[in-house]
């Protein structure tokens, strides 16, 4: 058997679960500005596949890159790290 390539993984917070079997995950990174040295928050949104519709808004989740499942969805849910309070 040939080994699979490494898949990218991201950790983020669910900001929407209004779609069927899909969630929107927001990843926030702190990046240092190249000229001024101040740390800036950068936000990136990913649409991920949630097979069992387990996630709720506010959950911290881990997602993994996968083949394209739709026009915007090419990530899938691995696990829920922390439930929303």
Question: What domains are defined for the chain?
Answer: 9-82 (2.40.50.140)
| pLDDT tens, the chain, 85 aa long | 667 788 999 999 999 999 999 999 999 999 999 999 999 999 999 999 999 999 999 999 999 999 999 999 999 999 999 999 8
The pLDDT value given to residue 85: 85
Supply the pTM of this predicted model.
0.87
66 phi and psi angles, rounded to 5 deg: -145, -175
The DSSP symbol for 21 reads T
**CA proximity to 66, closest of 57, 54, 75:** 75
The pLDDT value given to residue 3: 77
């Amino acid at each position: 058997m040939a080994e699979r390539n490494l898949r990218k993984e991201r950790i983020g917070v669910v900001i929407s679960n209004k779609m069927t079997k899909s969630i929107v995950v927001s990843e926030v990174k702190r990046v240092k500005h190249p000229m001024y040295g101040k740390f800036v928050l950068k936000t990136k949104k990913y649409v991920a596949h949630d097979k069992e519709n387990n996630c709720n808004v506010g959950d911290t989740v881990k997602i993994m890159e996968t083949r394209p499942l739709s026009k915007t969805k090419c990530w899938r849910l691995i696990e829920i790290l922390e439930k929303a309070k």
